[in-house]
Amino acid sequence: MEALSHFAGDIGLRLGKYLMTILGESNYLLGLHPPGDKSRPWIEQIKSAAGAASQLVQQLITFSCRLPPEVELISLNNIVRHMAEQFTLHFGNSLARGDFRIEIQLEAEKALVLVDASQFENAVLRLLKWVHARVGVGTLTIRTTSQHDKVRLSLIDNGPVLREDERVKLFEPFHDVDQENADLGLALAYGIIRQAQGTILLSSSSSGTELSIDLPQAQTEPTKAVIVPASAKQTILVVDDEDLVRNYLVIALQHLGYDVIAVKDGNEALSQCQQSNVNIDVLLTDMVLPGMNGRQLAEQAKKVRPTLKLVFMSGYTENLLGE
């Protein structure tokens, strides 16, 4: 699963770059072709297709734990309560007929977790839908408990025993969904929970199946970055080895009023920084470059230009940014 996750992340990040270019240039073209223009439907179709592909790429990146979450300190019980308000929307017919019952037992009232609430609810909802599809007629118990430094969310059903071949493939991408839906299914839930430093435990017997999510208990809010708007009258040095992405960034930034210098690697960027007659206010660099990476480039560039502002761009920068 780790190898598959890494592969999915690499593919997702590369495709994401290309889709960023398509979506960005589609938006620009839409601005040039107002409603009623005969070319506009074609442009809207391109944007729509790229948007759908982008959603799948986002799932790939989330599955690989490379999509930075917007974490917050929140009660696990409150997450379940909020989700309970949506159960009628997702399981309304079964609940109304009495075929499918959901019982909620909230015991971890004071337990807090650090999660991206939206992503985590997405993961749990995927698991709930899987239980509903598997059980059909039966009872699902949603239970929260606190265990020392961990908080557990358990989904317990009274359905048939889960076969070994089902267990093995349970979290594989596309395993539990219609292929035409282009959805990662439970694999996405697995990635979201793993990114929240959680683990998934699965046990099944003739009396039913229990799927438990263990999360670390949290005490304090994470530190949030402060974003300061930049002036549009500056020169930006863009560094990216992908021609399509680099060219798109040049067009987009120039359209916003910036002066732009674009290069494809760290050596070319340093060469520009070392020229005293070249004005550079901001270094905008991809983190993954041939030769030196974005962090290494930034360190060298700051030695030459101590006041240089730095902006990093990447789908996954945790290991490269370090502290």
- Choices 3.30.565.10, 3.40.50.720, 3.40.50.9100, 3.50.50.60: CATH for 72-216: 3.30.565.10
Rounded to whole angstroms, how far apart are CA atoms 308 and 269? 13
Tens of pLDDT, residue by residue over 32-59, are: 888 889 999 898 888 888 877 776 666 6
Q: Is 18 helix (H, G, I), strand (E, B) or coil?
A: helix
DSSP SS3 for 286: strand
pLDDT attached to residue 167 = 82
Q: For residue 323, name the pLDDT band (cuts at 50, 70, 90).
A: very low
pLDDT digits (tens, 9 = 90+) for 111-136: 899 988 888 888 898 899 888 888 88
Q: What CA–CA distance (Å, rounded) separates 10 from 64?
A: 9
60-110 pLDDT per residue, tens: 555 555 555 577 888 999 999 988 887 878 888 888 888 888 999 998 877
More confident residue, 174 or 51: 51
Contact 170, 178 (CB under 8 A): no
Topology adopted by domain 2-63? Helix Hairpins (1.10.287)
- Strand ranges for 85-207 from DSSP E: 100-106, 112-115, 138-147, 150-157, 199-205
Q: Where are the domains of the chain?
A: 2-63, 72-216, 235-321
Contact 292, 239 (CB under 8 A): no
Q: Three-class SS of residue 303?
A: helix
CA distance from start to end of the chain: 28
Q: Which fold has domain 235-321?
A: Rossmann fold (3.40.50)
Question: Of the segments 40-54, 179-193, 203-217, which one has the largest average pLDDT value?
Answer: 203-217
Strand ordering across the sheet containing 150-157: 100-106, 138-147, 150-157, 208-216, 199-205
Kindly give the pairing relationship between strand 199-205 and strand 138-147.
unpaired
